[in-house]
Structure formats: structure tokens, C-alpha cells
């Protein structure tokens, strides 16, 4: 098991956000975390990558408890995080942003290999971050994370604000990542992206686990989709 989240409870100040959230991800698997806005998906991901520390519970990556470790240490262990707000550097070029993110890891990602996955970025490698469209920024954020050679790639709302054609392109690129053997955890509000790329799903609502199972079973469960997901 590459990721084990066991009964984590997380607070922001005095606000209790997560209540005993649990999930597991096998090495090489693609899993999605689903729920409407405010369900607690982003807080769950931020808890995993060390941006917020759970009050209780455990989070194990490759058997090691990583709760309390700073984000850069968790990243070095092999966890890559693509945040919803992208956080690209506006005054660096595409190539510069890839260069500063490169580090040794368990993979063999290079700038050349990233450009093969995202050929559009090569055409814009001299453009500054603030000159890119939303779709180009998202490609750059994923590419930059891959330069750290993660074993587990976590994506928070990767299609937020993107045009439908860009979403289709991104879906194909993430399918290629699955073929590379990268383990994926994808957070999404609905069914049209993450479920198509995943084998299993977890649904959370109001900070609590509500359902887990295969994506095929989820697609057939109309009551569940209507109650908890953006259709």
C-alpha cells in the first residue's frame, strides 16, 4: 500500500473540518476523491502533503507515518501535489519553472520527457508564467510537479476553469501518466473527469467518509450521485 490515511481529524483554528477520514491507495492505482464544494476534499489533500497537520489519526506513505513532517520533506519522499490554484511563478519562463523544480527521485522525468507529454509547453518555453492561458498554466503545474519524480501524484481539481477541449487533452495526458506507472489521487466535484481515469472512488461530505467502491459501481448508483456529487 503506497498511501494509507487512517481516521484523520483536521482543524482550521477552532473549526473542525475533517472527521475520521480514511482511505487507501495501492501502488500503480488511480483513485478519485469526490464531493461537492466544501466537502473537505482539499483539506484532506492538504493534510496528506503536510500543508495542514491533522489533530489525530495517521497518514502513512510507503509505510512511514508522515504526519507532522514539513511539505518539502514529504515531497522528497515521493509525493507530488498539483494544487487547485496552480501557483506558477509569473515572472519565470516555462523552461525556468521546470528547471528549478527538477530533482532526483524514483522516476526519470526530464524537460525533454515533459515536453513529450505536453508538446504545447515546448512551443511556449520562453513565455512567462503570466502570459499563459489557464489550460497552459495547468499543464505547466503538472509538468513542474513531475520534474520532482513523484511516485504518488495528487491533483486537486485539475480541470477547474478549463475549456472542454483542454479537459479532453488533459485526460489523455493523465492516461499516459497512468501508463508510466505513476500512482494517482485525483480530487474532483463530479463524474466527468476523475471517475473516467480511476478504478476506485471515495466520496466525502461535510468532512466525513460517505462511500467507497469501484467507479463502475458508482456510475450505476443514481441516488448516490444525486445526493453527493455535481452531475
pTM over 0.85: yes
pLDDT at 204 over 80: yes
* Over residues 78-106, mean pLDDT: 87
Query: What's the pLDDT score for residue 107?
Result: 65
Q: Is the dihedral of CA 218, 220, 221, 227 positive or negative?
A: positive
* Over residues 169-175, mean pLDDT: 92
pLDDT at 231 over 80: no
pLDDT at 170 over 70: yes
**Considering its fold, how many domains does the chain have in total?**
1
Cell numbers that stand for 45 in this block: 489533500
The per-residue pLDDT of the chain, averaged, comes to 92
Measured CA to CA, the distance from residue 49 to residue 104 in angstroms comes to 19
- Going by pLDDT thresholds of 50, 70 and 90, the confidence category of residue 105 is low
Query: What's the pLDDT score for residue 104?
Result: 65
- Going by pLDDT thresholds of 50, 70 and 90, the confidence category of residue 134 is confident
* Over residues 19-24, mean pLDDT: 98
Q: What is the DSSP string of 119-184?
A: HHHHHTTTSBGGGS-HHHHHHHHHHHHHTT--SEEEEESTTTT--HHHHHHHHHHHHHHHHTT-EE
Query: What's the pLDDT score for residue 85?
Result: 84
| Percent of the chain whose pLDDT exceeds 90 | 74
Question: What CATH number does the domain containing 15 carry?
Answer: 3.40.50.300
Query: What's the pLDDT score for residue 190?
Result: 75
- Going by pLDDT thresholds of 50, 70 and 90, the confidence category of residue 220 is very high
Domain boundaries, position 7: 3-228
Amino acid at each position: 500500500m503506497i498511501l494509507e490515511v487512517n481516521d484523520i481529524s483536521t482543524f482550521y483554528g477552532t473549526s473542525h473540518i475533517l472527521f475520521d477520514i480514511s482511505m487507501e491507495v495501492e501502488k500503480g492505482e488511480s483513485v478519485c476523491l469526490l464531493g461537492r464544494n466544501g466537502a473537505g476534499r482539499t483539506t484532506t489533500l492538504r493534510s496528506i502533503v503536510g500543508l495542514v497537520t491533522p489533530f489525530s489519526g495517521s497518514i502513512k506513505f510507503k509505510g512511514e507515518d508522515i504526519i507532522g513532517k514539513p511539505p518539502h520533506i514529504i515531497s522528497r519522499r515521493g509525493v507530488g501535489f498539483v494544487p487547485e490554484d496552480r501557483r506558477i511563478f509569473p515572472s519565470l519562463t516555462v523552461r525556468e519553472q521546470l528547471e528549478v523544480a527538477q530533482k532526483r527521485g524514483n522516476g526519470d522525468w526530464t524537460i525533454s520527457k515533459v515536453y513529450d507529454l505536453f508538446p504545447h509547453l515546448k512551443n511556449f518555453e520562453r513565455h512567462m508564467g503570466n502570459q499563459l492561458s489557464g489550460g497552459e498554466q495547468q499543464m505547466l503545474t503538472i509538468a513542474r510537479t513531475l520534474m520532482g519524480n513523484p511516485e504518488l501524484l495528487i491533483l486537486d481539481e485539475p480541470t477547474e476553469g478549463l475549456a472542454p477541449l483542454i479537459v479532453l487533452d488533459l485526460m489523455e495526458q493523465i492516461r499516459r501518466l497512468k501508463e508510466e506507472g505513476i500512482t494517482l489521487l485525483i480530487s474532483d466535484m463530479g463524474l466527468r473527469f476523475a471517475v473516467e481515469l480511476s478504478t476506485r472512488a471515495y466520496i466525502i461530505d461535510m468532512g466525513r467518509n460517505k462511500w467507497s467502491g469501484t467507479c463502475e459501481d458508482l456510475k450505476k448508483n443514481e441516488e448516490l450521485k444525486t445526493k453527493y456529487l455535481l452531475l
